[in-house]
Amino acid sequence: MSAMEPVWLVSEGRVLAAAQLATSRADLRRGLLGVTTVEEPLVLMPCSWVHTIGMKVAIDVAHVSADGLVLHTATLKPWRIGARNSQSHMIVEAAAGSFERWNLSVGSPLEVRYVQS
Task: Domain of residue 11: give its range.
Answer: 5-109
Peptide bond into 46 cis (omega under 30): yes
Domain total for the chain? 1
Q: Does residue 33 have a pLDDT over 90?
A: no
Whether residue 46 is contained in a domain is answered as yes
Whether residue 114 is contained in a domain is answered as no
The per-residue pLDDT for 9 is 98
> Contact at 8 Å (CB) between 72 and 63?
yes
Report the CATH number at residue 104.
Answer: 2.60.120.1140
Whether residue 117 is contained in a domain is answered as no
Furthest C-alpha separation in the chain: 38
Residue whose C-alpha is closest to residue 56's, from 73, 34, 40, 39: 34
39-62 confidence digits (pLDDT tens): 999 999 999 999 999 999 999 999
The per-residue pLDDT for 2 is 57
pTM for this one? 0.93
